[in-house]
Structure 1
Amino acid sequence: MRGSPLQVKLFSSAPSPRVSRDIHLPGGKVLRATPIFDTYWRFAAERQEVFFRRLSGAPTPWTDDPVLRSFRFTNVYRASDRVSQYLIRRVVYEGPQEEEEVFFRVLLFKLFNRIETWELLEARLGELTWKSFDFSRADAVLSAAIQSGVRLYSAAYIMPSPLLGLVRKHSNHLELLRRMMADHAPRKVVSARSLREVFQALRAYPSLGDFLAYQFAIDLNYSELMRFEESEFVVAGPGARSGIGKCFSDTGGMREDEVIYAVTRMAEQEFSRLGLGFRTLWGRALQPIDCQNLFCEVDKYSRVVHPEATPEGGRTRIKQRYESRPGAIPHWYPPKWKLFPGLT
């Protein structure tokens, strides 16, 4: 049997297997859902409960699900994650709000996607602004950090190095940002007429493939630079594509983004069908970016709960163990969303 002893111990927590069912969509399209699609909604409901229990100050453990207790999974709502929360509160909304400054800060943060790297640069360089930023000094700070064994990049997703002629990956990313600013990238994204156009503007730069360009577009859209609805555009990353493949044995020829849109629209009825009392984010419904992330997380979750669904040669383990972090960041969302968590 495939799997570690821990995995074998956890298999008993999986929902009882059920046969596939057909989901009929407008326009005559049909999704053939596997039993893992039920797990998708159960996972979403329980992971969201973990979020609210933790936020309320309840003591650990925040769930009886042994998989959620053992491994690290992102929040159901992308904006609720620790790194996104830091980005929104400390990077986007602190500091000058001119378009060049906001764009510069967001891209500088996201190219590394690691809070510790941002704080290292702040500690050594002072306030991080486009007007005062010294790329040579930043490169030296990060180079010294690497030599002392400090990790600069998040493990959340792969950050390919742009091939811009420099030796170190971080040097190439700093050079990419310098070139984007010189190319008036802030003006290009602010002039965009849709979230898709923001994505396309970012996608034109070296090493920013579909997934990263989309993620950066979502991050910029947290700011006051633009006011696009997250519901208008989505791009499925590699993990989400794998999760969709596990949740559906047949997508009726629909593209991954079409599947994500369809699943987003059916969320309320699916939670109701399964008798799950899903709590939204203070009235904010799940958005396509959130459902995209959920497919990625369920792809990981199913490696333990549904090991039979992992294709031969596919990943069978979840790499990141759950570790409780001290000093939780107070939750705060873009003011334009008009959410009221009751926190300051």
Structure 2
Amino acid sequence: MGSSRKRPAEKDASDKCPKRSKLHKSDALSPPLTVTVRGQTFEPTPVFDTFWRFAAERHAITEKRLKGLPAPWTDDPILQIYPFCNTYRVLDRVSQYIIAEVIEKGSQDPTELVFRILLFSTFTSINTYETLRGAIKPLTWSTYERANYERVLRRLYDDKVAIYTGAYQKPAPNLGFVENFMNHLALVEVLMQELPTQCEKAEYVADVFDWLCTFKSMGDFTGYQLVLNLSYSSVLNFSDYDFVVVGVGSRRGLQRCFKGQIPHACEVDIIRWMQLTQAEHFSRLNLKFNGLGPRARPIMLCDVEHILCEVDKYVRKLATPSRRPFHPSGTLAKMRLPKAWTLPARQSLRIKCQEEAEVEYIEKFVVDSIRSHRGVDGEREFLVHWEGYSTDEDSWEPEDMLADDAPHAIREYWEHSLV
């Protein structure tokens, strides 16, 4: 049931964008370039230039905040009102916490590093991790006993304290327990039997990802996020040019950036092209982009994928008036970059398969069902399960967009909720 996520051109949110946006101009001409991959040529839309303007402006905001400058950090009304992730994934709050508190604090033994990163990534909650770390000493795999972790997690559960982050839903495997957190704890135990060895012997980073995806509930999204978190440490030493996984949100963003339909097999190639030609686009648009850190690190593959998802949200917000302003905190803590990024092994390019994908088909996003709803900044969002995707790709979508694309799914959700 539901409808295709590919809307007709006349209904595209980019055609309804208010002119006050300095990052996106709906009446702008398409960028004077095309990209050809796998024998197919793709022509960018005006949203393609919005991608680069967004990347530059969002990073400029972060740089100002790191310097302790007062708000407002941007003249762009959308970036002033709504929260968006950083241009660089590593600068997001959770990534910074993983580097400073999960990786750098504690034993640097590879197995213990894997355990702490896996434990945090399973719940992706700073409060849950700090509660575990405060109650269990030492927080190590070598001294692991399930009863100790169950006691702490069950206390949070009984006190109705959120164990998981609210950013996205994590499906739990069925490993014989009633509660999701216990099934996830059991999954940590299962993964720890081989994950340290998988990281050590992997010839390609894709090997670790492929192995993770053999486990039920460990789909593309969850597996890729765990791989990225592991890559902040020395246990997974591969170049950031090696591997990327395209999620549902970034697929939508990529589709906005180019005319016509993009086959799944072409997505990674286009993202690689965007990453390699970024200097050209910043220069063409007269954008100042300083890169990351003292070495001016460019946007990497994971960052392009990350930004595409944010640009999709940005363009949608252009057509949606604000109901409640977003008020970010002031000065940011000192930036922490992974020490492992300086290791020599990171300089060698190791792509498992140059072809990366062989199947030629058009990716469609069709609403299978709606699982839940919530309020965010005065607006309603629905948790959507997409037809043909695993549950770890479920995503929160705004009500106004679903009202256009899948009104029957919304009606059916409310009918079942009232039963």
TM-score (norm 1): 0.86
**Counterpart in 2 of 1:122?**
133
Larger proportion of helix: 1
User: How does 1:84-99 map onto structure 2 within 5 Å?
Assistant: 84-99=95-110
Alpha-carbon distance in structure 2 between the residues aligned to 1:48 and 1:270: 16
**Counterpart in 2 of 1:332?**
336
Aligned counterpart for 2:244 among listed residues 230, 234, 247: 234
- 1:211 offset after TM fit, Å? 1.8
Alpha-carbon distance in structure 2 between the residues aligned to 1:142 and 1:126: 15
User: How does 1:57-206 map onto structure 2 within 5 Å?
Assistant: 57-181=68-192, 183-206=193-216
8 Å CA contact 2:68, 2:330 repeated in 1 = no
**Counterpart in 1 of 2:303?**
290
Alpha-carbon distance in structure 1 between the residues aligned to 2:290 and 2:75: 18
- 1:286 offset after TM fit, Å? 0.8
**Counterpart in 2 of 1:225?**
235
Alpha-carbon distance in structure 2 between the residues aligned to 1:318 and 1:247: 24
**Counterpart in 1 of 2:312?**
299
- 1:116 offset after TM fit, Å? 1.1
Alpha-carbon distance in structure 2 between the residues aligned to 1:151 and 1:252: 39
CA RMSD of aligned residues (A): 2.8
8 Å CA contact 1:142, 1:170 repeated in 2 = yes
8 Å CA contact 2:98, 2:117 repeated in 1 = yes
8 Å CA contact 2:173, 2:183 repeated in 1 = yes
What SS does the aligned partner of 1:96 have? coil
- 1:91 offset after TM fit, Å? 0.7
Alpha-carbon distance in structure 1 between the residues aligned to 2:324 and 2:225: 21
Q: Residues 255-297 of structure 1, C-alpha deviation per residue, up to 9 Å, x if partnerless?
A: 2222211111121111111111112002111110000000000
**Counterpart in 1 of 2:409?**
none
Alpha-carbon distance in structure 2 between the residues aligned to 1:12 and 1:201: 44
8 Å CA contact 2:212, 2:223 repeated in 1 = yes
**Counterpart in 1 of 2:259?**
249
How many aligned residue pairs are there?
326
- 1:54 offset after TM fit, Å? 0.2
Cα pair distance change 1:169/1:121, threshold 3 Å: same
Q: Residues 195-229 of structure 1, C-alpha deviation per residue, up to 9 Å, x if partnerless?
A: 11121122222211112111211111111113200
Alpha-carbon distance in structure 2 between the residues aligned to 1:276 and 1:82: 26
What SS does the aligned partner of 2:34 have? strand
Alpha-carbon distance in structure 2 between the residues aligned to 1:326 and 1:106: 28
What SS does the aligned partner of 1:111 have? helix
Letter in 2 for 1:330: K
Alpha-carbon distance in structure 2 between the residues aligned to 1:12 and 1:261: 27
Q: Report the identity percentage.
A: 36
Cα pair distance change 1:243/1:306, threshold 3 Å: farther
**Counterpart in 1 of 2:56?**
45
TM-score (norm 2): 0.72
Name structure 2 gaps, 5 residues minimum: 1-10, 344-419
8 Å CA contact 2:24, 2:49 repeated in 1 = no
Alpha-carbon distance in structure 1 between the residues aligned to 2:177 and 2:94: 28
8 Å CA contact 1:103, 1:220 repeated in 2 = yes
Alpha-carbon distance in structure 2 between the residues aligned to 1:301 and 1:38: 13
Alpha-carbon distance in structure 1 between the residues aligned to 2:327 and 2:211: 37
What SS does the aligned partner of 2:42 have? strand
What SS does the aligned partner of 1:223 have? coil
- 1:28 offset after TM fit, Å? 5.3
Alpha-carbon distance in structure 2 between the residues aligned to 1:188 and 1:320: 46
8 Å CA contact 2:28, 2:46 repeated in 1 = yes
Cα pair distance change 1:318/1:264, threshold 3 Å: farther
- 1:157 offset after TM fit, Å? 2.8
Tell me whether 49-58 or 158-167 shows the greater mean CA deviation: 158-167
**Counterpart in 2 of 1:310?**
none
**Counterpart in 1 of 2:4?**
none
8 Å CA contact 1:37, 1:248 repeated in 2 = yes
- 1:82 offset after TM fit, Å? 1.1
Alpha-carbon distance in structure 1 between the residues aligned to 2:337 and 2:183: 32
Q: Residues 25-58 of structure 1, C-alpha deviation per residue, up to 9 Å, x if partnerless?
A: 4775422211111111111000000010000010
1:216 partnered with 2:226: yes
Alpha-carbon distance in structure 1 between the residues aligned to 2:328 and 2:130: 20
8 Å CA contact 1:72, 1:322 repeated in 2 = yes
